[in-house]
Homo-oligomer: A and B are copies of this chain.
Amino acid sequence: MDAKNAIARILEEKKEIRQIYWVACGGSLIDLYSAHYMMNAESAKVESGWYTGREFLTAPPKKLGTASLVIACSHSGETPETVEAAKFAKQAGAAVITMTHAAKSASDDPEFISFVYPWGDNVPVSNTPAGITLELAAELLSAQENFPKYGELLKGISQMDQIIAGAVKKVNGGLTEEFAEKYGEEPFFYVLGSGPAFSQTYGFAICSLMEMQWQNCAYIHSAEYFHGPFECTDKNVFYFLQKSAGRSRVMDQRAEDFLRNHTDKLIVIDALDLGLGAIDKSVVDYFNPILFYAMNCEFREALAKKHNHPTEMRRYMGIEKY
């Protein structure tokens, strides 16, 4: 299935979509955030909601119904909350698109419009959940209302592979090593970011660090930082800042300016230094999380080497019953 055809098929049946709900858990939920953010910022017609699977089930949106589109992503295809949410949405009359890496899994069921995506190194962004969801959002916007940024958005997706390749080289030219060597023994630290990229601030914390490195940390929104969390800042507390390109940059810049004067332990990764300026200004915001996800993978790999703790090592997930 491709995004254009999926949306066309849905609109042929539904005529109109008024709500779009993005539903998943953990890392998969993170991947859906940028498209959700884009819908809120760009659509005059469609309401967008972003839900962790269980919460979509315990307190579903009242409007969920025949004018709704639910996009549910589960990497394994079997995440109970996500599969249950997709079925629940279908029963409520919504159109349901599922995304999964696992063909023939519960998510890849004929009752849904399913995308089975490849995984691993060298998979183009256009084939990843983050790319597919941006494209789905763009197709829906374009089909139902005026979306003048459509061409720029699709072009942006096609540019990302080259940008990421360059950025990977660049951060591995010293920054990932600095992170692992200088800060690899920190018992705890803060990760900051904002805008669409706040999803990957959260993602770096909960997936790359907590899950894959058993590394205690906290994620803080760069703007919210000044309304409480900054009181923890001290010369001795390490901060990792994801500095976005685009409209949310002002929030990250403010945090950086403060951090430069209040801690001796700081790493800033700057989307503009990493090549994101090549994307058209009108849509660049939505690509920050895709770039930062790729960077998160490099930083966690450096930490994994330093800790001698492979990123695939787990003690509970998929091992214990819970």
> CB distance B231 to A214 under 8 Å?
yes
Q: Mark A227-260, 1 if CB is under 8 A from B, else 0.
A: 1111111100100000000011011001001100
Task: Give every chain B residue within 8 A of A314 (Cβ-Cβ).
Answer: 231
> CB distance B223 to A53 under 8 Å?
yes
Q: Contacts A54-B250, A59-B247, A63-B43: A223 and B316 contacting too (C-beta < 8 A)? A: no
> CB distance A207 to B187 under 8 Å?
no
> CB distance B221 to A218 under 8 Å?
no
Whether, in the assembled complex, A119 has its beta carbon less than 8 Å from a beta carbon of chain B, the answer is no
- CB-contact partner of A44 in B62, B207, B258, under 8 A: B62
Q: Contacts A211-B229, A218-B218: A26 and B59 contacting too (C-beta < 8 A)? A: no
Whether, in the assembled complex, A151 has its beta carbon less than 8 Å from a beta carbon of chain B, the answer is no
Whether, in the assembled complex, A94 has its beta carbon less than 8 Å from a beta carbon of chain B, the answer is no
Task: Give every chain B residue within 8 A of A142 (Cβ-Cβ).
Answer: none
Which of A29, A210, A257: most chain B Cβ within 10 A? A210
Number of A interface residues, CB 8 Å? 67
Whether, in the assembled complex, A111 has its beta carbon less than 8 Å from a beta carbon of chain B, the answer is no
Q: Contacts A41-B59, A59-B41, A216-B188: A228 and B250 contacting too (C-beta < 8 A)? A: no
Q: Mark A255-273, 1 if CB is under 8 A from B, else 0.
A: 0011000100000000000
Bound complex: CA A62 to CA B60 (Å): 24
Task: Give every chain B residue within 8 A of A205 (Cβ-Cβ).
Answer: 218
> CB distance A60 to B43 under 8 Å?
no
Whether, in the assembled complex, A181 has its beta carbon less than 8 Å from a beta carbon of chain B, the answer is no
Q: Mark A282-322, 1 if CB is under 8 A from B, else 0.
A: 00010000000000000000000000000000111100001
Whether, in the assembled complex, A178 has its beta carbon less than 8 Å from a beta carbon of chain B, the answer is no
Whether, in the assembled complex, A5 has its beta carbon less than 8 Å from a beta carbon of chain B, the answer is no
Q: Mark A42-70, 1 if CB is under 8 A from B, else 0.
A: 11100101001111001111110000000
- CB-contact partner of A58 in B62, B195, B230, B316, under 8 A: B195
Whether, in the assembled complex, A217 has its beta carbon less than 8 Å from a beta carbon of chain B, the answer is yes
- CB-contact partner of A227 in B27, B37, B41, B195, under 8 A: B27
Task: Give every chain B residue within 8 A of A248 (Cβ-Cβ).
Answer: 55, 58-59
| Nearest-CB residue, chain B, relative to A229 | B210
Bound complex: CA A220 to CA B26 (Å): 11
- CB A273 to nearest CB in B, in angstroms, measures 20
- CB-contact partner of A218 in B53, B194, B217, B230, under 8 A: B217
Bound complex: CA A25 to CA B223 (Å): 8
- CB-contact partner of A62 in B42, B187, B188, under 8 A: B42
> CB distance A60 to B41 under 8 Å?
yes
Known: A55-B248, A59-B195. 19 other contacts (CB 8 A): A25-B223, A26-B227, A27-B228, A40-B61, A41-B62, A43-B63, A54-B251, A59-B247, A188-B188, A188-B216, A210-B232, A214-B231, A214-B232, A216-B218, A218-B219, A226-B317, A231-B314, A231-B315, A254-B322
